Structure 1
Amino acid sequence: MTARVNGAKAKPRTTRNPRGSLSSEAILAAAFELAEEASVEKLSMPKLAKRLDVGVTSLYWYFRSKEDLLDAMIAQSADDYLSLLSDHPDTPWDKHFRLYFREMKQIFHDNPVMCDFLVFRRSAATVTPRLRFLDRINHEVTVLIDAGFDPETAARGYQAMSVYTQGVVHKQRLFHLSDQTDDRFMMIDSRRIWAVEPNGQPAAYPGLEASLDYWSASFASDEEFEAGLDFIIEGLRSKLPTTDQRAARKARTS
């Protein structure tokens, strides 16, 4: 897997392992190649052995099982992801998180296999890959605390933005894998409608019809993503203490 975001690439891996010189790095490189060509779910040890031109049992000297291999791939994906995710020092907290989560979304969009591992499978990983994220999450929560938010609001706010962004990525990835079109509407007499009744008449959904131009099956556009992120950030802003409230809180804890 050669991860990228906005033209930046992660450290490239060897694309093919020479016969007789097997290594864990070569196995991982071939595994990422297979996952990119087919999918993570279709990756198997026999297919991997064939790609490397070795016997299947040779792989088990390096990875005891397919799950061990997948765990190593998650760890590598985590390292690649974190190497691509920029920091935004000396940036106001709201702009910081707009940049941060836009970039998160773009990284996963540009790297489908990384997305499959870190958005779809990360909960299946052992503790080692999970630990790779703690320093960065700690940093992001600290940005909110330093901006004046109390710890509870900082934690809940970060989680809301993170889960929202990963949910958008998840929806877009599933949409792409299913080969759907973004047009969910039916047409009757050149008019877009949501559905028809059993008698063939257009079904009435006044609220949906009034907001029809703002619905999307894929939620793929930047405008759609930014609108949701703005809702969360503006909600957070409403909870930011005033200068007097911060002073009072500091006095209580000192």
Structure 2
Amino acid sequence: MARQATAEKRPRRERGSINPDDIIKGAFELAEEVGIDNLSMPLLGKHLGVGVTSIYWYFRKKDDLLNAMTDRALRQYVFATPYVEAKDWRETLRNHARSMRKTFLGNPILCDLILIRSALSPRTARLGVQEVEKAIASLTEAGLTADDAFDTYSAVSVHVRGSVVLQRLREKNRATAEGPSDIDEAMAIDSDSTPLLALVTEKGHHLGAADDNNFEFGLECILDHAGRLIDEAKSTPAKKSARKR
């Protein structure tokens, strides 16, 4: 069942004893208990033991507070994500994707702030763009064109984010206990009308589920395609040289 939006009231702080860092830290603590959707300024005031006006002094509305939380969460996420390296692009890009997914799946608050809400300050947005630039530069050094490097990294990013968001929505649907949590649970599969589906689902395959098997299959397809593009680029100069002879 979903947790109710309640917070234990702490001893009242002295006026002026709270600062933005305290508020952001408290907001993360409270979000761990009640979720981002149920986070509110009055509830946060009770959690911190201050009047709600003390919070509004620094954050005029909830969106401002969520933006500050997102900035902090993204800095933590970028720091924890391994870089893509040209000399071993396939393995490092694979690890990069797996690490992104693991980080978000392990922290629902991070997922809600960065992937679902997606509101970033200009400074944090620039930081994110710079990290993407580094990854694309490594892929071009590995042999992809700038266009193909961009499309490859973008495809990996969409694949990771889509997988995580689907899993997060599944968890939220299950928490409400209102019907099936995703398309996989809603489908009626029997061996008479859908024998192939019945065969593979009995082996543990899931249609449309953001599980490890589907994630890894999709990731390898993207990496395989990028590998073919690099191989084609390497063979093109040799073909041109042979024709000149």
CA distance in 2 between partners of 1:246 and 1:29 (Å): 56
CA contact (8 A) 1:88 1:96 kept: yes
Q: Are 2:222 and 1:228 equivalent residues in the alignment? A: no
Equivalent residue, structure 2, for 1:113: 109
Equivalent residue, structure 1, for 2:185: 184
The 5-angstrom pairing of residues 1-254 of structure 1 reads: 19-20=13-14, 21-87=17-83, 89=85, 91-122=87-118, 124-179=119-174, 184=185, 194=189, 204-209=193-198, 211-212=200-201, 213=203, 214-216=205-207, 218-221=209-212, 223-240=213-230, 241-245=232-236
CA distance in 2 between partners of 1:220 and 1:62 (Å): 41
Deviation at 1:85, TM superposition (A): 1.1
- For residues 66-91 of structure 1, give each alpha carbon's deviation from its aligned partner in whole angstroms, at most 9, with x where no partner exists: 11111101101111101111235465
Deviation at 1:227, TM superposition (A): 1.1
CA distance in 2 between partners of 1:81 and 1:139 (Å): 16
CA distance in 1 between partners of 2:115 and 2:209 (Å): 17
CA contact (8 A) 1:36 1:113 kept: yes
- For residues 142-182 of structure 1, give each alpha carbon's deviation from its aligned partner in whole angstroms, at most 9, with x where no partner exists: 11111111111111111011000110011111112222679
CA distance in 2 between partners of 1:159 and 1:52 (Å): 40
Give unmatched runs, 5+ long, in structure 2. Answer: 1-9, 175-179, 241-245
Deviation at 1:219, TM superposition (A): 2.5
Q: 1:174 to 1:234 in 2, by over 3 A?
A: same
Which AA in structure 2 matches 1:204? S
TM-score, scaled relative to structure 1: 0.77
CA distance in 2 between partners of 1:17 and 1:72 (Å): 25
Which AA in structure 2 matches 1:68? D
- For residues 230-253 of structure 1, give each alpha carbon's deviation from its aligned partner in whole angstroms, at most 9, with x where no partner exists: 01111121222343536899xxxx
- For residues 87-140 of structure 1, give each alpha carbon's deviation from its aligned partner in whole angstroms, at most 9, with x where no partner exists: 354651111111100000111111110111111111x33423322211211111
| Number of positions where the alignment pairs a residue of Structure 1 with one of Structure 2 | 220
- For residues 195-246 of structure 1, give each alpha carbon's deviation from its aligned partner in whole angstroms, at most 9, with x where no partner exists: 6xxxxxx77235534543432564223x332111001111121222343536
CA distance in 1 between partners of 2:86 and 2:126 (Å): 26
CA distance in 2 between partners of 1:36 and 1:247 (Å): 58
Which AA in structure 1 matches 2:210? F
Q: 1:18 to 1:233 in 2, by over 3 A?
A: farther
Q: Which moved more, 1:102-111 or 1:84-93?
A: 84-93
CA distance in 2 between partners of 1:57 and 1:247 (Å): 71
Secondary structure at the residue paired with 1:238?
A: helix
CA distance in 1 between partners of 2:226 and 2:86 (Å): 19
CA distance in 2 between partners of 1:80 and 1:27 (Å): 18
Structure showing the higher helix proportion among its residues: 2
Q: Which runs of 4+ in 1 moved over 4 A?
A: 88-91, 180-183, 246-249
TM-score, scaled relative to structure 2: 0.80
Give unmatched runs, 5+ long, in structure 1. Answer: 1-15, 187-192, 196-201, 250-254
Aligned-residue CA RMSD (Å): 2.8
Question: Percent identity, aligned pairs only?
Answer: 32
